[in-house]
Structure 1
Amino acid sequence: MKNKIEVLGSRVHNLKNVDVTIPRNSLVVFTGLSGSGKSSLAFDTIFAEGQRRYIETFSAYARNFLGNTARPDVDKITGLSPVISIEQKTTNKNPRSTVGTTTEIYDYLRLLYARAGEAYSYKSGARMVKYTEERVVDMILNDYHGRAIYLLAPLVRNRKGHYRELFEQMRRKGYLNIRVDGEVLELTRGMKVDRYKNHNIEVVIDKMKLSDTKLDNQRERLARSVAAAMKQGDSLIMIMDKESGETKYFSKRLMDPETGIAYKEPAPNIFSFNSPEGACPHCKGLGRIVKIDIKKVIPDLQQNIYNGGIAPLGKYRNQMIFWQIDSILQNHNCTIKTPIKDIPKEAMDEILYGSLGNIKISKELVHTTSDYFTTFDGIVKYLTNVMENDDSAAGKKWADQFTGETICPECNGTRLNREALAYRIWNKNIAQLAELDINELKEWVDELDKHIDEKQRVIATEIIKEIRKRINFLLEVGLDYLSLNRQSASLSGGESQRIRLATQIGSQLVNVLYILDEPSIGLHQRDNQRLIKSLKELRNLGNTVVVVEHDEDMMRAAEWIVDIGPLAGRKGGEVVFQGTPSEMLLTNTLTAQYLKGERTIDLPPKRRKGNGQFIKLYGCRGNNLKNIDVEFPLGTLIVVTGVSGSGKSTLINETLQPILSQHFYRSTKKPMPYDRIEGIENIDKVVDVDQSPIGRTPRSNPATYTGVFSDIRRLFVSLPEAKIRGYKPGRFSFNVKGGRCETCGGNGYKTIEMNFLPDVMVPCEVCRGKRYNRETMEVRFKGKSIADVLDMTVNMAVEFFESVPQIRKKIKALQDVGLGYIKLGQSSTTLSGGESQRVKLATELAKRDTGRTLYILDEPTTGLHFEDIRILMHVLQQLVDRGNTVLIIEHNLDVIKLADHIIDMGPEGGRGGGTVLSTGTPEEVAQSKLGFTPEYIARQLSGHSSCTIPDSEQSNMQ
């Protein structure tokens, strides 16, 4: 019990009553084919039970608010520690979440700037100062000796209003004079000012002449007046020389003596873009704003307005807005049939941004007896009003076509207001630190002691210690290329997971069971050893680390392996091996065969040269790309590789794919900066096959996504029984009334609320989980109802629909990508990212292609076993054989070695990357001396294990 965790009789999903033993304080790998049951055992059994037991420690009242987790279908779990799950799905999509806030480094920086930051004026750049009341009195007596002065308390700074109530309030307090816009006036009953102008208003607290006589009495009076002025002016006062009118500011708070602006006492929330105190008021702390994109409003300057040159208006109609535009153009000697490029700039500005005066609409246009005048607000204001005031989805979607995100002009993307940006430590404000990558930030922190004074050093010591500790954890998991202001939503699943891993290492917890889901995703082979070292460090603290993983390096580094199989789906769910890696090599499981080299993913007999056509990108400079030019040979299998953060995703997902999507599908996603693209006419469509879910509700399934369910329903409609009853396709849908079971609404189950116990899902007592009513299920094809068909696996369905080519073709595509084990009606929410990606790929395979399609895949090996990769790559090679181009972003060496053309980026991540190091076939790239990839490819081509570490890396790890 003390030395192991035991799982007895787990039957979750496809698990077949399995028993598993996990040694404590060790690194354990769960492996096996995709769909074999690894996640069901690790997350849906062990983690779910750990979470349930934790929640059960709370009172029934508290559990009502926490939500309840159902007891997993398992006989017994013994020796279970508190469980922490670090999954890929936990990536925060909130635009306010950044690497800095997730790791808490930014929180410590906020504290550092609040306690040790030096304030400067955002107006004059001068160092801010603060005075005590006694110091202010001494300075007034010294600076204004022998002069008549007014003591003023600022009340209003550059704001509109009549301020009648303010004047009356000051009069009732006994004050006699008020200074309005530099002029001292007597306070009278009913006094007010022009409400439409900006005003500066100060109340006169006292007026006196400072002399040598009665100095003690004057000091006493001045001290009382200064205290009263500080109270009325919110810690700020002004001294005005009666003769010259010159004014000077004094404050108990930080202030600029030249301009009089004062800051609040610095606190950590002033430096937070998620707080109203620190956020830029223009973009509300997001760093970006949505504004009208004139290029989208006027997409073609050759076109005229009559034929639809202004996209939101469309072609000419006999309506007021066109009469107004026509009248504006006539004033500039043009018409609405003049090409937009020939219309004067002044006229287009009036059309876009509105006319300053009234526009004369001639009687000929509106067929009236006289002319009349109207105002015109402009196209941009019209679109802005729709954007801000139309709450309908259709209205917002229409307006979104003509908008684009741009960097906030007020904060320049820093997210903070000007006061927060005015604090500096060693000549840097907090936003400048957030822009540094982790390596640069470490250098700054390490040198900080030499550049701050003794007082700051005393305050900063403990804070810097915490920052340095968290930076080192990020460096250990290979995330040195990230910056603190990088949005969490832009991180890959692997990067997000490694950030959480770094946080957990920093928490220093012991006796915890950690479960991770493929942390090696997105990692280059070079960085694998750093990750393994971090996991072992977590283990060395006294924890058990379970990793669901297919990576060969990770398996060989583990102390215990649990192999689930033998195959996937209903043919999986068994523990085919559990033991040490060396013991595993003595077995004959599918995984062991690949580890021993008995099974391999064979090299292609020859590399394709392509069809002689190219897509060429010039001047790519998004994120860290360094103005690079890249060629993509068409008709080949292209792999883009390089270390994490080298710029692969920026080049493909943020530059190339948006350009092509805009061209073919009028996508609204804006590509990263580039100069030009050539060869786009050489393809006829682009298909992005990513790992996002195929649906977000349990009603979505592979049959509905691929479209085969519509064909199946049409087949059932054509059956004699259905024709006799007059059934239409909707009769066989579980989403609409008619054929579905109305008791459960087509869900197949009912949810029973159990208050402080978990909700219980029970099969519907009427349809018994079939989803359809009795009459619908009486229509049968080869003895099977529509419900029976949805319950079939893909492998079963291929045989069942052998005689129906249209249906069989789509289902066969699912089988070809290795998804023969999933059910046609399986809920999309139960599919992994890799399974979702392959369902999308199968959907595209089932379509007719012209041989001129570009397929883009981002790390398709995520969640895939060696055997799954072999099947997937066989399918992709078939696509290329038909003349298409397949472009893959990948680190997996088994995929890289199969490429016809490699684009290797690097040499490092972040600021050290963004260049193309080498291109060509794997054999050609292996000869390169640039970067880290060639050495690994060379070893892979020569037959060495992918996890063998090149000599150059050995020294770095020691």
Structure 2
Amino acid sequence: MDKIIIKGAKEHNLKNINIEIPKNKLVVITGLSGSGKSSLAFDTLYAEGQRRYVESLSSYARQFLGIMDKPKVESIEGLSPAISIDQKTTSKNPRSTVGTVTEIYDYLRLLYARVGTPYCPNCGIKIEKQSIDQIVDDIMKLEQGTKIQILGPVVREKKGEYKKIFEEYQKEGYVRARVDGETVELSDDIELDRKKKHTIEIIIDRLVIKEDIRARLTESVETSLRIANNLVIVDVVGGEEKLYSANYACPKCGFSIEELTPRMFSFNNPMGACPECTGIGYLQKMDEDLLVPDKEATLYDGIKLYGSSTMKKGDTIAQMYFESIAKHYGVKIKGVKIKDLPRSFMEKIMYGTGDEEIDFAYKSSTGTHHNRATFEGVIPTLERRHRDTKSAGMMQWYEMYMTEQECSACHGARLKPEVLAVKVGTLNIKELTDMPIRSIKEYLLSLELSEKEEMIASQIMQELSKRLQFLIDVGLDYLTLSRSAGTLSGGESQRIRLATQIGSGLTGVMYILDEPSIGLHQRNNNRLITTLKKLRDLGNSVIVVEHDTDTMYAADQVIDIGPGAGVHGGYVLAQGTAEEIAKSDNSITGKYLSGRMQIAVPKKRRNLTGKYLEIVGATEHNLKNVTVKFPLGNFICVTGVSGSGKSTLINDVLYKNIYKELNNSTMKVGKCKSLKGLHHIDKVINIDQSPIGRTPRSNPATYTGVFDLIRDIFTTTNEAKMRGYQKGRFSFNVPGGRCEACNGDGIIKIEMNFLSDVYVPCEVCKGKRYNHETLEVKYKGKSIADVLDMTVEEAVTFFENVPRIKNKIQTLKEVGLGYIKLGQSSTTLSGGEAQRVKLATELSKTQTGKTLYILDEPTTGLHIDDVHRLVDILQKLVDKGNTVLTIEHNLDLIKTADYIVDLGPEGGEKGGQIIATGKPEKICKEPLSYTGQYLKDYLEI
């Protein structure tokens, strides 16, 4: 069968649709946000494909996998095994890196174990292991007639007199030795200074290189290896001497290393992991900046947690410590600000006095007592208390003042020193994985290996080259393999999994992807499309939920779902190629594709107000000492290729520094020399895509604060007044009004051993969350449960005459969320929906006209028609005097900005610079700006 036939799909808002999707093709499903795209792709196709696969397994295997619920669909024919690649981040495990997730690190470990060259971590000398035959062969290569002597180094750089050693070797028949470079007779009375280091080498044989001395030479070498711990020195008379080892041991200091194995290069294995940090690369340590946030305060008031939350003036133990230490070092501390105290003195206070004892003076009712002791230091004391405490609360309290700091033993490399001393070419495994992926590929291709190494490594190198190329193809060439997987964005982790899937070479599979182009600059988009086609050409069905027009034109078929969102969506509007969709009158997507509808370029852009926020000398992550101005009262877009430093500049440097200043926070901030112009703003709001709540009890009504107002309305009804119901009666989080059978959840979880857990509506309240008495209270004929079950659109009409409630809900509708229910669990909202709930919440607040709004990729998950509405809302915010700053790749939004800050030129190490700033028209004229090159088409320049 060459197509997937779906009949009667009714999952979520799908309207009993029938559709045929061609197999082994690239198919894009598009439509407005909330129209039912994900319901068709993930909740119907993927869910059924996965369910059928799991059902075919044994009951024993099924109990570990869990079975997905059967979607609401009459029948699906021609379904293949399904693999979903969505935007959920790869792993929050600190041990997961880009290298381990893609399995490239496994191949690198193999490469280093098989063709790596160990060096001594102490001396830097190459460590070689040779057999007796190899050693003899090497010596025989010397010119005929060369005079040599064979020596066995029995003592190397060690203190002692060694009389017994001289006697022992004399008894064995040896005549001479070389002691500290001087040849001596063993029969002489040799006197050595036992306090000095000595080197003793027994002279085993003296030879002249000739054809017939091989047997004698072999015997002498064997003797030296036996008496000198597998070492032999060949001293060429009048020339250089050479040391050979039959172990993996340093010929100079004797440092030995085991036979190289792949396990030794794993930071998740005790054989290779740094013992100090157990292979994580960092440790949780007290942070001096968090403990001493106010450098303007005195020592008595400025140090957090020591003695109390901050020290109070008076005769505390801590004060006694500080005064005694100050007296010992002759430093005045009374009335002196911390910033004016000598740094050497602060080091003693914070980190201790080491072995130096201090005369501590204790005052009590019986007089002053003295005690000489060392001082442990504020930070070591608090770290010890953190280690020793059994209280979870205290542990949490200490951790507020701790940050992740680089391990001092391995300096963040995660591995043991002897492992880091193994090199392939000129780099160890840490240095290699710290390079961007594109540079790793270039380095491996340029390696000069011997013929033997080439034979061993050829297959490994082939596999490495292939996998690295897949990552380059999906636009991730700027990432390093050592980057922690938890720091990747949703788009990056999705593209990593996409590259890994291509590497797996599976065929006959149905892949379902959720907006793989998220976070990707137009420049990288073509490579991503090529990768999707490659996945299709392997013999797979590739179904992509996507809004990107380039992907639609590259697809074999486009399915447009709509026409609206929520209850207004769920129909198939059009199906065919992008060109056919563009001609369709039913399809909103088609109207934008054909240009019949479009987001207009502003006729006139706002002028600069003369007020700026300025970052000076930002150096966080890959930023190259960036200084940049952001004009206030403008709509600003920060652009640049993936990995160029946009999020670092805006989220880590700008937002965190402003937030810290405005709120006196102890937040860790991105590094910059200074931030100017803060007096122009009174508030900064970062509207990101993190969930609005982590439990099913959180919903849009509770997050926006409208639920409080709705409960107030219910308490004013006559029924509620008669019964004496207060506001708490209408909450499903506290006993009283809620259904106690399900604790206000409305559903009950039933655990099934062999099947997935089943959630069934509560039999008592029938899923309404409240008890019978509470539901009897009605406002305009609706109970509190009925109101929570309304969509935003319905609620706007229902509360028409209650401005306080209507205005808050209206903003949810304006940001394109008219289809979500007021009581919808926050865990079911996508990242883009959560971001828009936050945006609506901020929009409904009173505007000061001096607020800075920061949005990170607000067009994520939005159809071009939704982007149109979003642009209108953001422009209205700026019209009120506020500043809106977005990090964005979507050119439809970028073209409407007043001012652009473009970073680049590339991603990773090759990024972190300001390429251009100014109005969009100016950016288009900048030859180095990739954004400008693509923006020209949208501005028709």
What is the TM-score with the length of structure 1 in the denominator? 0.85
Q: Which residue of structure 2 lines up, in the alignment, with residue 22 of structure 1?
A: 21
Superposed CA deviations along residues 152-211 of structure 1, whole A, max 9, x for unmatched, are: 9xxxx99xxxxxxxxxxxxxxxxxxxxxxxxxxxxxxxxxxxxxxxxx9xxxxxx99979
Report deviation, 1:82. 1.1
- Flag the 1:816–1:743 CA change in 2: closer, same or farther, 3 A: same
Report deviation, 1:98. 1.7
SS at match of 2:446: helix
Counterpart selection for 1:569 from 542, 566, 571:
566
Structure 1, gaps ≥5 residues long:
159-199, 201-206, 231-235, 241-247, 944-958
Q: Which residue of structure 2 lines up, in the alignment, with residue 255 of structure 1?
A: 249
Q: Which residue of structure 1 lines up, in the alignment, with residue 36 of structure 2?
A: 37
Counterpart selection for 2:322 from 314, 321, 325:
325
Q: Which residue of structure 2 lines up, in the alignment, with residue 6 of structure 1?
A: 5
Residues 295-310 of structure 1 aligned to structure 2 (within 5 Å): 295-308=289-302
Q: Which residue of structure 2 lines up, in the alignment, with residue 664 of structure 1?
A: 662
CA–CA distance in structure 2, aligned partners of residues 809 and 507 of structure 1: 52
Q: Which residue of structure 2 lines up, in the alignment, with residue 55 of structure 1?
A: 54
Task: Give, as a single letter, the amino acid of the residue that structure 2 aligns with 1:562.
Answer: I
- Flag the 1:321–1:539 CA change in 2: closer, same or farther, 3 A: same
CA–CA distance in structure 1, aligned partners of residues 468 and 60 of structure 2: 40
Report deviation, 1:384. 1.2
Q: Which residue of structure 2 lines up, in the alignment, with residue 761 of structure 1?
A: 759
- Flag the 1:139–1:643 CA change in 2: closer, same or farther, 3 A: closer
Whether 2:700 is the aligned partner of 1:702: answer yes
SS at match of 1:545: strand
CA–CA distance in structure 2, aligned partners of residues 125 and 221 of structure 1: 29
- Flag the 1:149–1:517 CA change in 2: closer, same or farther, 3 A: closer
CA–CA distance in structure 2, aligned partners of residues 605 and 211 of structure 1: 95
Q: Which residue of structure 2 lines up, in the alignment, with residue 908 of structure 1?
A: 906
Q: Is the 8 A contact 1:925 1:934 kept in 2?
A: yes
Q: Is the 8 A contact 1:151 1:225 kept in 2?
A: no
Superposed CA deviations along residues 48-79 of structure 1, whole A, max 9, x for unmatched, are: 11111111121112211122211112111100
Q: Is the 8 A contact 2:436 2:481 kept in 1?
A: yes
Report deviation, 1:345. 4.5
Superposed CA deviations along residues 882-918 of structure 1, whole A, max 9, x for unmatched, are: 1111111111111001101011122222233222221
Q: Is the 8 A contact 1:635 1:880 kept in 2?
A: yes
Counterpart selection for 2:580 from 571, 579, 583:
583
Q: Which residue of structure 1 lines up, in the alignment, with residue 744 of structure 2?
A: 746
SS at match of 1:585: helix
Residues 533-682 of structure 1 aligned to structure 2 (within 5 Å): 533-588=530-585, 589-682=587-680
CA–CA distance in structure 2, aligned partners of residues 429 and 208 of structure 1: 37
Superposed CA deviations along residues 403-425 of structure 1, whole A, max 9, x for unmatched, are: 33333333233222211111112
Whether 2:482 is the aligned partner of 1:506: answer no
Q: Is the 8 A contact 2:152 2:224 kept in 1?
A: no
Larger displacement relative to structure 2 (326-335 or 376-385)? 326-335
CA–CA distance in structure 2, aligned partners of residues 875 and 731 of structure 1: 37
CA–CA distance in structure 1, aligned partners of residues 133 and 390 of structure 2: 57
Larger displacement relative to structure 2 (801-810 or 774-783)? 801-810
SS at match of 2:756: coil
Identity among equivalent pairs (%)? 52
SS at match of 1:257: coil
Task: Give, as a single letter, the amino acid of the residue that structure 1 aligns with 2:720.
Answer: A
CA–CA distance in structure 1, aligned partners of residues 638 and 150 of structure 2: 79
Equivalent pairs counted in the alignment come to 874
Report deviation, 1:285. 2.0
Task: Give, as a single letter, the amino acid of the residue that structure 1 aligns with 2:20.
Answer: T
Q: Is the 8 A contact 2:43 2:71 kept in 1?
A: yes
SS at match of 2:862: coil
- Flag the 1:106–1:770 CA change in 2: closer, same or farther, 3 A: same
CA–CA distance in structure 1, aligned partners of residues 563 and 90 of structure 2: 32
Report deviation, 1:552. 0.9
Larger displacement relative to structure 2 (629-638 or 552-561)? 552-561
Q: CA RMSD in A?
A: 3.3
Residues 858-873 of structure 1 aligned to structure 2 (within 5 Å): 858-873=856-871
Q: Is the 8 A contact 2:626 2:913 kept in 1?
A: yes
CA–CA distance in structure 2, aligned partners of residues 547 and 912 of structure 1: 31
Report deviation, 1:249. 10
Q: Which residue of structure 2 lines up, in the alignment, with residue 770 of structure 1?
A: 768
Task: Give, as a single letter, the amino acid of the residue that structure 1 aligns with 2:567.
Answer: R
Report deviation, 1:548. 0.0
CA–CA distance in structure 1, aligned partners of residues 724 and 909 of structure 2: 67
- Flag the 1:576–1:389 CA change in 2: closer, same or farther, 3 A: farther
Q: Which residue of structure 1 lines up, in the alignment, with residue 173 of structure 2?
A: none
Report deviation, 1:293. 2.7
CA–CA distance in structure 2, aligned partners of residues 655 and 149 of structure 1: 59
Q: Which residue of structure 2 lines up, in the alignment, with residue 352 of structure 1?
A: 350
Residues 202-601 of structure 1 aligned to structure 2 (within 5 Å): 253-308=247-302, 313-331=310-328, 332=330, 334-355=332-353, 356=355, 360=359, 362=361, 365-373=363-371, 375=373, 376-390=375-389, 392-448=391-447, 451-588=448-585, 589-601=587-599
Q: Is the 8 A contact 1:308 1:315 kept in 2?
A: no
Task: Give, as a single letter, the amino acid of the residue that structure 1 aligns with 2:657.
Answer: I
- Flag the 1:605–1:263 CA change in 2: closer, same or farther, 3 A: same
Q: Is the 8 A contact 1:270 1:420 kept in 2?
A: yes
SS at match of 1:698: coil
Q: Is the 8 A contact 2:230 2:246 kept in 1?
A: no
Q: Which residue of structure 1 lines up, in the alignment, with residue 87 of structure 2?
A: 88
Counterpart selection for 1:784 from 777, 782, 785:
782
Task: Give, as a single letter, the amino acid of the residue that structure 2 aligns with 1:847.
Answer: K
Q: Is the 8 A contact 1:237 1:249 kept in 2?
A: no
Report deviation, 1:632. 0.4
Superposed CA deviations along residues 627-669 of structure 1, whole A, max 9, x for unmatched, are: 2211100111000112222221221122212212222334554
Larger displacement relative to structure 2 (907-916 or 651-660)? 907-916
Superposed CA deviations along residues 553-607 of structure 1, whole A, max 9, x for unmatched, are: 1112212111111100111112222223232223222111111111111222321
CA–CA distance in structure 1, aligned partners of residues 554 and 150 of structure 2: 85
Whether 2:60 is the aligned partner of 1:66: answer no
Q: Is the 8 A contact 1:386 1:395 kept in 2?
A: no
Q: Is the 8 A contact 1:637 1:880 kept in 2?
A: yes
- Flag the 1:595–1:767 CA change in 2: closer, same or farther, 3 A: same
Q: Which residue of structure 2 lines up, in the alignment, with residue 731 of structure 1?
A: 729
SS at match of 1:904: strand
CA–CA distance in structure 2, aligned partners of residues 636 and 208 of structure 1: 83
- Flag the 1:252–1:75 CA change in 2: closer, same or farther, 3 A: farther
Residues 875-890 of structure 1 aligned to structure 2 (within 5 Å): 875-890=873-888
Report deviation, 1:107. 1.3
Q: Is the 8 A contact 1:151 1:238 kept in 2?
A: no
Structure 2, gaps ≥5 residues long:
140-146, 160-196, 207-214, 234-241
Task: Give, as a single letter, the amino acid of the residue that structure 2 aligns with 1:638.
Answer: I
Report deviation, 1:100. 1.6
Q: Is the 8 A contact 2:152 2:225 kept in 1?
A: no
- Flag the 1:150–1:913 CA change in 2: closer, same or farther, 3 A: closer
Whether 2:77 is the aligned partner of 1:78: answer yes
Q: Is the 8 A contact 1:121 1:127 kept in 2?
A: yes
Q: Is the 8 A contact 1:637 1:901 kept in 2?
A: yes
CA–CA distance in structure 2, aligned partners of residues 335 and 931 of structure 1: 55
Q: Is the 8 A contact 2:31 2:562 kept in 1?
A: yes
Superposed CA deviations along residues 7-61 of structure 1, whole A, max 9, x for unmatched, are: 1112211112122210011110101110111111101111111111111121112
Larger displacement relative to structure 2 (830-839 or 102-111)? 102-111
Report deviation, 1:138. 13
